[in-house]
Amino acid sequence: MDKLNENVREKKHIKLGEIDSGPILVALLLGFIAVAIFVILRRRSAGRRDFLLTGLCESGKSAIFMQLLHGKLPETFTSIKENVGDYQAGGHSSVRLVDIPGHYRVRDKCFDLYKHKAKGIVFVVDSVTVQKDIRDVADPCSVLVLCNKQDQTTAKSAQVIKSLLEKELHTVRDTRSRKLQSVGDDDVNKPVTLGKPGRDFEFAHISQNIQFVESSRQGEGTEYPDRLDGSPYVNTREIERVGTETT
């Protein structure tokens, strides 16, 4: 009994500094890091709920914005400021639609304000004037190319517009490649090829998923004239389908 009491007294005299706290501190630190990473990733995913409607002036972005949010087709004018509104489709969680102005003086600045929170980008193309504006349309775009105004007889189909963009991007790629090669032959100056080297550019050659769909601001039940290329018509509900697939 005396020996047991002596052992107890010896344990009481053990100082806190004599305990090896290294493994405990490491475990606490790892736990804190794991929680911090989880919170950061959750905030980032939750923060990305914007779908940006981008494109050139008079392509129909604001009309699509108004139809999706309010079900109306009011007369629209060239926007000098973004339009923002919440949209919910098919019982899914709501997303925020941002109508980016198409004017070259404000579109880049406005796009920079929202691009970091963008969950998706809809690039609206005027299917009638696309050939005239092909160089502007060939600027970098992502996710969805929406070929609007398909109810007009001179509208080009999504497949035709896709081919036009592929040809223009192929021309731009080759032109810039030759300019870079003329600067020097060092490894630093070697151009990065868009698509597959030695082949005509196709959207299928790049890893990014870019879809082409057709649309019109006209509502359902409207009689549409036959288009020159004989291709089928797709309503703006295609936007809802693409949006719900990415949510």
Whether residue 188 lies inside any domain: the answer is: yes
> pTM for the full model?
0.44
Is residue 23 a part of any domain in this protein?
no
| Residue 163, pLDDT score | 92
Segment holding 214, helix H or strand E: strand 211-214
**From CA 145, how far away is CA 38, in angstroms rounded?**
34
User: Is 45 part of any domain?
Assistant: no
**How far from chain centre, in Å, is Cα 180?**
29
Report pLDDT for 197.
79
Q: Evaluate whether residue 22 is within a structural domain.
A: no
The parent domain of residue 173 ranges over 50-246
Q: Which two tokens stand for residue 170?
A: 């192929």
Q: Is residue 116 part of a domain?
A: yes
Is residue 109 within 8 Å of residue 115, measured between CB atoms?
A: no
**199 part of a folded domain:** yes
**Domain contains 134:** yes
Give the number of domains in the chain: 1
Q: Is residue 40 part of a domain?
A: no
97 CB burial (10 A radius; 0-12, 13-18, 19+): buried
Q: What is the pLDDT along the chain (247 residues), one digit of tens a residue?
A: 555 555 555 555 545 455 556 666 656 655 555 555 555 555 555 566 788 888 877 778 888 888 887 777 766 666 677 888 888 766 667 788 888 887 767 777 888 888 787 888 888 887 777 676 666 655 554 557 888 888 888 888 889 999 999 999 888 888 877 766 655 555 555 556 777 877 888 888 887 768 888 887 665 544 444 444 444 444 555 555 555 555 5
Angle at 135 between CA 78 and CA 242, to 5 degrees: 65
CA distance 184 to 68: 51
Q: Do 224 and 218 touch, CB atoms closer than 8 A?
A: yes
Residue 82: CATH number of its domain: 3.40.50.300
Provide the 3-class DSSP secondary structure of residue 174. Answer: helix
